[in-house]
Amino acid sequence: MRDLIDEEEKIVKEYEPELLQKVKKLLMMSKNGTLHVHALRLIRRELGLPEDFRDSILRTHSKDFRLVDLEIVELVDRNESLAKAEVEKWREKEYVDKWLSEFETSYAFPINFPTGFKIEGGYREKLKNWQRLPYLKPYESKEVLRVRTCGGIERFEKRAVGIIHELLSLTVEKMLEVDRLAHFRKDFAIEVNVCELLLKHPGIFYICTKGSTQTVFLREAYSKGCLAFPNPIYVVRSKMLDLILLGHRNTRSLEDLQEIKEERNGSVFRTNVGVRRDGDLIVPILDSYDQNAFGSLGDINDSKQPFDGCESGRN
């Protein structure tokens, strides 16, 4: 685990230019080019930012950022080459590969309905019209949108969908806790009911309600339960998770079979620690015949057949 933590820190340092661009893009999406540092701190790990990002990124790159006060960061120089949302790549691909018109793709989003999703009558037509509906894109100038005008509410909500879509695209695992999105509502000028908005678009977002926390995932980013295009930070964190899920299984058996060299009388002893402590996994003691019959303890644990004790193994 220590090696994986060091590897993650090394990757974060190597990807500092990319992380710098992420913060820039978030500031470019904001209404006034400013963000609350507290909001960034809440999603620091999701963005892949280092723990000391305030000093290592915001203060160090004074040509790009300016700390207005303790809790406000401002963008100094806007880079228009970064003003392109991730969804635009999908739109260009759809335009080229499927020979669709710009009218069909310019404001569309990838839709992936969940298995068993029931499409009611008239829903397809409504969705088709919504896909064509123009809206103020995340990096476009923040003009005042009149909600009461024709299609104003729909365009305002679609702009909010576009900003949340882009924010999720900038994260490591394309996911965020719904509660943390609320901290960006004012800065991004998306003062809507975020949870209700996400539920209205099940083909774009997936909300997981496991436990007491609601987490939103970007559907298009996942395939068969895994990230379709994993990044290095995601890979090393997946290794950490796999290691944690292993727990302490088999560690006692590995210790019992490990040769410990001692210089006592120049002899080498094979220790068999038999003292039981609270929390220890009780493993039946196997003689040489039992070991040949069962194989290693790892084989037993990996077997799909139930393990009922020594007698069932011999049979």
- Cα–Cα distance for residue pair 221/230, rounded to 1 Å: 9
Size (the chain), residues: 315
Reading the block at residue 99, the tokens are 């020979």
Sequence-distant (6+) residues with CB within 8 A of 138 are 29, 85, 159, 162, 163, 166
For 247, list phi and psi in degrees, rounded to 5. 65, -145
Give the CA dihedral 280, 281, 282, 288, nearest 10 degrees.
-110
Q: What is the DSSP letter of 58?
A: I
Domain ranges of the chain: 1-79, 84-113+123-140+151-227
How many C-beta neighbours within 10 Å does residue 158 have?
Answer: 22
**Cα–Cα distance measured from residue 99 to residue 243, given in angstroms and rounded to the nearest whole number:** 46
- Closest listed residue to residue 127, CA positions, set 217, 204, 193, 208: 204
Buried b (16+ CB within 10 A) or exposed e, 223-258: eeeebeeebbbbebbeeeeeeeeeeeebebbeeeee
Low-confidence ranges of the chain (pLDDT < 70): 142-151, 248-315
CB burial of residue 57 (10 Å; 0-12, 13-18, 19+): buried
d(CA 287, CA 314): 12
pLDDT of residue 94: 86
The pLDDT, as a whole number, for residue 169 is 96
pLDDT of residue 262: 42
Say what the pLDDT of residue 153 is.
86
The count of other CB atoms within 10 Å of the CB of residue 14 is: 11
Q: Taking the CB of residue 62, how many other CB atoms lie within 10 A of it?
A: 10
Give the pLDDT confidence score for residue 288 in this predicted structure.
Answer: 40
What is the reported pLDDT for 69?
82
